[in-house]
A and B are shown apart, each in its own frame.
Chain A
Amino acid sequence: MARGFFASAFLLTAFMAAFGQAPQKVAPPQKPWTLPRTPDGHPDLQGYWSNASITPLQRAKELGAKEFYTAEEAAAVDKKEFTERTSWDRLGNQATVHYDMSQFGLDVIQAKVALSRRTSLIIGPDGRIPPMTPAAQKRLAERNAARRGHEFDGYAERPLQERCIVWSAEGPPMMSTGYNSNLQIVQGPTTVTIMEEMIHDARMIPTDGSAHLPPSIRQYLGDSRGHWEGDTLVVDTTNFTDKTSFMGSTQNLHIVERFTRIDEDTILYEYTVDDPSTWVRPWTAQQPLTKIAGPIFEYACHEGNLGLPNTLSGARAAEAAKAANK
C-alpha cells in the first residue's frame, strides 16, 4: 500500500542518495518524476483528489509531543484504524468474511486514502487546537445556552449541513467529509476552482492579484484569493460570515491554505487557522490529498432532503405526545 507522501519523500531521498554517492553498481534505471505544469508554467494541480484520512485532527494526549510514528507504529495504527472503521465485526452477527470492507478503504467508499506517519493532522509539538480565549469561551457558552431546548423549533434552528446549505467540513479549510471526500481542481490563467463533492460547491479562487472583497460582503465559504509562492499555490480566505462557525470561530476567521504537488499522486495540503477572537494563537494542520480516478458525482442535497421535514415532524409528534401525557 502506498504510504502517501512519506513514501515518496523516502524514495526521493533514496534516489538522491543513490545519485550523490555514485554507487559502484548501477541501480536499475528509474525515471524521475517531473512536476507537470500548465501552459503558463505553474504546477498542474488539476484532477480528482481525495482527502479521506484516518489521521485524527488532534493528537491523543498520551502521545505528548510525539509528532510522527515510526514506520512500524504507523503500520500497526493504520491496521487498527482500517479494521475498526471498515470491518463488519461491529455489525454483530451479520458479519461474514465476504464483507470485509478493509478492501474498500477508509470509509468503504473509496479505496484510496493518503496515509501519513503523523500522529495528528495538526503539526508542531502540541498537535492540538490551542485554548480558546476567555471571551470566546463565554460567547460559545452563551450561544449554546440560548439554543438549548430550541434545537427543533423550526428549520432555521437546524444545522446548515442538515439544511443542505454547506457541509460542515467542506471548508475552507477542507477536511475529510466522512464519505464522498472527493474534490476536483481546475486551473485557468486567472482562476483556480475547487469543486467539492460534498456539498457540491465550486470555490472560485482568483489568482490575478485582485484584492479581497470589501469587509461588508460576507460569504458562507469566505472570499478566497490565490497566488503562487514558487511551486506552491497559496490561498488566503477572509470575509466569512457569522452564520457559519469553524470549530467555534467568528467571522474574523482567516485561513491560509498551501497546495504543493509533491509527486504524481499527492498534493500536500497545509492550512493555517487564525481567529484572534477565538483562539490564543493560530494553528496549522497538514494532510496529503491523494489522486483518485474520478469522476465526482452530483450531490444535489436539497433535491431529496426528506430528513429535515422528518426531523421536524418527529419533534412535533414528541411535543404532542408530551402534552397529551400532562
Chain B
Amino acid sequence: MKFGLTYILALLVAVPARPHHAFAAEFDINRPIKLRGTVTKMDWINPHSWIHIDVKGPDGKITSWMIEGGSPNVLLRMGFTKDALPAGAEIVLEGFQAKDGSNRGVGKTLSFADGRKLFLGSSAPGANGEPEGK
C-alpha cells in the first residue's frame, strides 16, 4: 500500500462537472476561509458529504464548523473510505463561507496538519475543476 496514501489523497477530489446546486447561491466567494482544526466527524450523506471540525481561536475558544464536500458515491468510488479522514485528525482547510454568515462553508482544498494535501470534491471554484471566475 505504498501507493495507497497518494491515491487516497487524490481521491478526495470529486471534481463534479455539474454540482448538485449552484455554488454562488449558497457560498460567498468574497468570504474565503482558512481553518485549522480537528475533525469531529464526517457525515456520509448525499448529495454532499459534510466534514465537522472544531477550530480553536486565539483566545482558546472552540468554534465548530461544517464544511461541504463531494458526493459520498463519488468519494467511495475513488477509494475514499470512512477511515480516510478519522475523528481526531488535524486538518487545514481552505474554502468559502456560507452566504448567511454561519459557521458553514464549502471546501476547496484540505490538507493534513503535516502538509499532505487533500482535495474536496465540492462545488467550490477551484475544487471542481472549473476555472476560477466562471
Interface residues in chain A, defined as those with a beta carbon under 8 Å from any beta carbon in chain B: 85-86, 90-92, 94, 96, 98-99, 101, 104, 107-110, 152, 161-162, 164, 169, 177-180, 197, 297-301, 303-308, 310-311, 313-318
6 pairs of A and B residues whose beta carbons are closest in the complex: A304-B45, A314-B99, A178-B18, A317-B100, A313-B100, A179-B16
Among candidates A94, A108, A152, A316, residue contacting B15 with C-beta atoms closer than 8 Å = A108
What A residues does B78 contact at CB under 8 A? Answer: 104, 108-109
Residue of B nearest to A107 (CB): B17
Residues of A within 8 Å of B17, CB to CB, are 85, 107, 178-179
Measured CA separation A24–B18 after assembly (Å): 54
How far is B20's CA from A301's CA once the two chains are assembled, in angstroms? 9
Q: Which of B1-37 contact A (CB under 8 A)?
A: 6, 10, 13-18, 20-22, 25-28
Which B residues are closer than 8 A to A by beta carbons? 6, 10, 13-18, 20-22, 25-28, 43, 45-48, 50, 66, 68, 71-74, 76-78, 98-102, 104, 109, 117, 119, 121, 126-127, 129-132
What are 29 residue pairs bridging A and B, where the CB atoms are less than 8 Å apart in the complex?
A: A91-B129, A101-B13, A107-B15, A107-B17, A108-B13, A108-B15, A109-B74, A152-B25, A161-B20, A177-B18, A179-B14, A179-B15, A179-B71, A297-B72, A297-B73, A299-B71, A301-B46, A306-B66, A307-B26, A307-B47, A310-B27, A311-B22, A311-B25, A311-B26, A313-B102, A314-B28, A314-B99, A315-B99, A316-B100
Asked if A299 and B100 sit within 8 Å, CB to CB, the answer is no
Q: What is the distance, in angstroms, from A147's C-beta to the closest C-beta of chain B?
A: 14
Residues of chain B with a CB closer than 8 A to A317's CB:
99-101
Do residues B10 and A180 form an inter-chain contact, with CB atoms below 8 A?
no
Task: Write the nearest CB–CB distance from A199 to chain B, whole angstroms.
Answer: 8
Q: How close is A110's CB to chain B, nearest CB, in angstroms?
A: 7
Tell me if B129 and A90 are in contact (CB < 8 A): yes
